[in-house]
Amino acid sequence: MKNLEELVKELIREGFIRSESVREAMLTIDRKDFVPYIYREEAYIDEPLPIGEDQTISAPHMVAIMLELLDIRRGMKVLEIGTGSGYNACLMEYLAYPGRVITIERLKSLYYIAQENIKRCPHSENIRIVYGDGSQGYPEEAPFDRIVVTCGAPDIPQVLLEQLSEGGIMVIPVGGHYFQDLYRVIKRKGEIVKENHGSVAFVPMIGKFGFKEEFYI
C-alpha cells in the first residue's frame, strides 16, 4: 500500500501541489482518517472514494487543485458547500488557522459522520458544520474571504457572489449534472472576474440554487 508521503510526492511531481502550505497541510491531515473503514487501504490512491449516500470524497489531486486556486491565508474565514467526509474542511482550517471554516452539508448522515471525523483535526474548534442547503450560502456569517463549492452547480449562485468579500476568491464547478468546468471567481472592486480551469466531474449540488432533487430519484 502506498503511504501518505508517497501520495503527496506524486501530487507534487504531477504539478497539482505547488505551494509549501498545501504540501504541509496534505501531509498533516491524513486522508485515511476520513474515508470509510473498508476503503482505508485505498486512502492514498489518487481517486475519489465512496463515503455513503452515493457521495464521494474527491480525488486528492482535485483537492490539491482547489486548495491551490483558493490561496487560503492565515486568519481567513472560509465557507465550504458540501462537507462530505470533512477532509477538505480540515485541510482548509489547517491553512486558515487561526481563521475559521464554516462548512454546509445537506445530507444528515454525512453531517454526523463529518462531525465525528473532524474531531481528529488539530483545530476542530474552528470548524463549524452546518446541516442545510448550502446553495443559499450562509448569510449569518457573511462575508467570506474564500468560498469553495465541492459539488457541481448549474450556475454560480448570485447569493454566493454576494457573500464573497471584496478581494475574495470562490472556486466552484459549474455545468451539467455529471460534468462541469472548474471556475475561479475573484471579486475585485465589486467586479466579478471568472477564470475557467478545465473539465471536472463532481456530484451535483442539490438545492434552491442548485439542481432539483427529483431529477435523481
Identify whether 135 is a catalytic site residue: no
Bridge partners, residue 23, by sequence? none
The yes or no reply on residue 129 touching ligand SAM (CB under 6 A) is: no
Nearest distance, CB of residue 176 and ligand SAM, angstroms: 15
The yes or no reply on residue 134 touching ligand SAM (CB under 6 A) is: yes
Site for ligand SAM in 45-64 (CB under 6 A): 55-58
Judged by beta carbon, residue 24 or residue 33, the one nearer ligand SAM is 33
Nearest distance, CB of residue 18 and ligand SAM, angstroms: 20
> What are the respective helix, strand and coil percentages of the chain, to the nearest 5?
35, 30, 35
Q: Can you tell me which of 7, 72, 78, 88 binds ligand SAM, judged by CB under 6 A?
A: 88
CA distances from 1 to 5, 26, 86, 200 (A): 12, 18, 23, 27
Bridge partners, residue 199, by sequence? 181
Nearest distance, CB of residue 107 and ligand SAM, angstroms: 4
- Cα 126 from Cα 206, distance rounded (Å): 26
Nearest distance, CB of residue 56 and ligand SAM, angstroms: 5
Judged by beta carbon, residue 28 or residue 193, the one nearer ligand SAM is 28
- Cα 192 from Cα 55, distance rounded (Å): 31
Bridge partners, residue 181, by sequence? 174, 199
Site for ligand SAM in 183-212 (CB under 6 A): 202-203, 205-207, 210
CA-based nearest residue to 185, from 211, 156, 159, 150: 156
Chain residues binding ligand SAM by CB under 6 A are 55-58, 81-82, 84-85, 87-88, 104-107, 110, 133-135, 150-151, 202-203, 205-207, 210
